[in-house]
Structure 1
Amino acid sequence: KINLGLGTVKSKEDVDFASNLSSKFCFAPDCNPKILEESIQKKIFFIPGVSNLEEVRLAKRYGYNLLKFFPAESSGGIKKLELLNQKALDNNLSFIPSGGINELNMNSYLNKSFVKAVAGSWIAPKEIISSRNWKEISHRAKISLNSI
């Protein structure tokens, strides 16, 4: 069984597209109120992107508890995420860091109880997908899994 998810949702049209595809979840790079409202209306499991406390609070006001911390590394990395989590004053918040995550830094995120997963392209970068090098992608996935 495949759970289809859609990434980089930036508009209401993207939410409609995801809904028409019966997408199980969507990720966004930011926390746009119009997209938050549309996702609620369409009943799509939506994971808004946040990089500061204002965005975390906005997402919480709309009822979102699972947030994409993006771009993780260039926004301040694990230290910034720890600070956001602490200042949010909500034990129900969870994060999926994305942006600059790789096999070398992923465990610093995954070791935190408020991090549910990490996202990144290091396992399957565009050039490896384009060359259809499935063995390399499998190898990279195994290395990442073994390092957890």
Structure 2
Amino acid sequence: MSFPIEIIDRLRQCRVVAGFSVDHVDHAVPIAEALLAGGIDAIELTLRTDAGIDAVKAICQQVPDMLVGVGTILTPDAAAAVAQAGAAFGVAPGLNRRVIEGAKDAGLPFAPGIMTPSELETAIESDCRFVKFFPAEASGGVTFLKSLAAPYKHLDIEYFPLGGVCVDNMLDYLRMPEVTAVGGSWIVNKQMVENGDWAGLQSRSAEVVNALKTGGER
């Protein structure tokens, strides 16, 4: 299925999506609430722990103003579980046709991960016009993404860079018209989560939002 324009528009408004995983389900809602209070209203909760799906369910049910995306979807069954949990969209670090088809079958808007022109063409062939560019910085960053995107500009591909993106380089990506939003894994500090420092996490969220505002328009 194609990515709904309303989600693309929401991501373009958010600009930064907070990426994180949770070890304990009880942390999920406080994290989401702290991010939201600081001004970040989109997340990518990764399925890297056993608590992942239950955490997605909890946030979807208890923090309805948060746009909930789920990352590290590696199997068709995971895509189905994410859809059933109520997530708005899913992403993966790589491109797997079986997962793309599984997401389509589950009705889950899905962005596969790409790094090369060949992977991008495979995504396009699978009707994926919104893709995760990963790992962004290790692949060559903005310079590489501009070169990658150029031959496909007429196809209106939207990119979601993650991996090495931080407050110091996020605006470089966001100035590219092809970039919908960036993923920020630096925002949710694990020590703060372990200490229950939700006020500190809210402040980190607010700092990112302020940096977006003071960095100028694209």
Q: Which residue of 2 aligns with 1:101?
A: 165
* Bigger mean CA offset, 12-21 vs 50-59: 12-21
What residue number does 1:72 align with?
A: 136
CA contact 1:67–1:95 (8 Å) conserved in 2: yes
Q: Give me the TM-score of the superposition, normalised by structure 2.
A: 0.64
Gaps of 5+ in 1: none
Asked whether the 8 Å contact 2:76–2:101 carries over to 1, the reply is no
| Displacement of 1:96 | 0.9
Structure 2 unmatched ranges of 5 or more:
1-63, 213-218
SS of corresponding position for 2:185:
coil
Q: CA deviation at 1:93?
A: 0.5
CA contact (8 A) 1:109 1:115 kept: yes
The letter of the residue matching 2:118 is E
Give 4+ residue runs of structure 1 displaced > 3 Å after superposition. none
Output the amino acid matched with 2:145: L
Structure richer in helix, relative to its length: 2
The structure-2 alpha-carbon separation of the partners of 1:89 and 1:5, relative to structure 1 and needing over 3 Å to count, comes to: closer
TM, length-normalised to structure 1 = 0.93
Deviation at residue 21 of structure 1 after TM alignment: 1.1
Q: CA–CA distance in 2 between the matches of 1:29 and 1:90?
A: 25
1:142 aligned onto 2:199: no
Q: In angstroms, what is the RMSD of aligned CA positions?
A: 1.4
Cα pair 2:77 2:102 within 8 Å, conserved? no
Aligned identity (percent) is: 28
Alignment length, in residue pairs?
148
